[in-house]
Amino acid sequence: MKKAVEKRSSEHGGAGVKFLIVAVSLFLMGNAAYHFIPVAYAGESLKQDMQTAVIQGLALPSGASPIDLVKQKVQKSVVANNIPEDAFVEVKQINKVLQAHVAYTEAVPVLPFGIYNYQYEFDHTATPTGFLTK
């Protein structure tokens, strides 16, 4: 009932190599996510804050300066979200509608040890939508 087992030298050691490949791949993906997710979250948070500031500026009474208020709120959001200091911030009024524009580029170290840095480019213009623009 016992069968003879043939020794195949090409089948030895395959599990260790596969585990090493999977472990290195998981490490690289985890490192990329660890560095990229906070930068992307800060960008999306800034978009939301810009939209809120533009709507609040449009809803101000006519006595106050909406451009200064919106610029102040956007600058506060830039500082709160750790956006680079060289970010371009512009607030202007076009046809009784406020627009806030922010643009910046940030290097994100996707691969460890500085092997590759991804250039995260943020360029967003917030304009009010809905019943306030009519």
C-beta atoms surrounding 84 within 10 Å: 11
- pLDDT attached to residue 83: 95
Instruction: Map out the domains of the chain as residue ranges.
Output: 15-133
Nearest in space to 97 (alpha carbons), one of 63, 47, 54, 50 = 54
- pLDDT attached to residue 95: 84
- pLDDT attached to residue 29: 96
- pLDDT attached to residue 28: 96
Nearest in space to 50 (alpha carbons), one of 21, 27, 80, 9 = 80
The whole-chain average pLDDT of the chain stands at: 89
Per-residue model confidence as pLDDT tens for the chain (134 residues) = 667 667 766 666 678 889 999 999 999 999 999 999 999 999 999 999 999 999 988 888 777 788 999 999 999 999 999 999 999 999 999 888 899 999 999 999 999 988 999 999 999 999 988 766 66
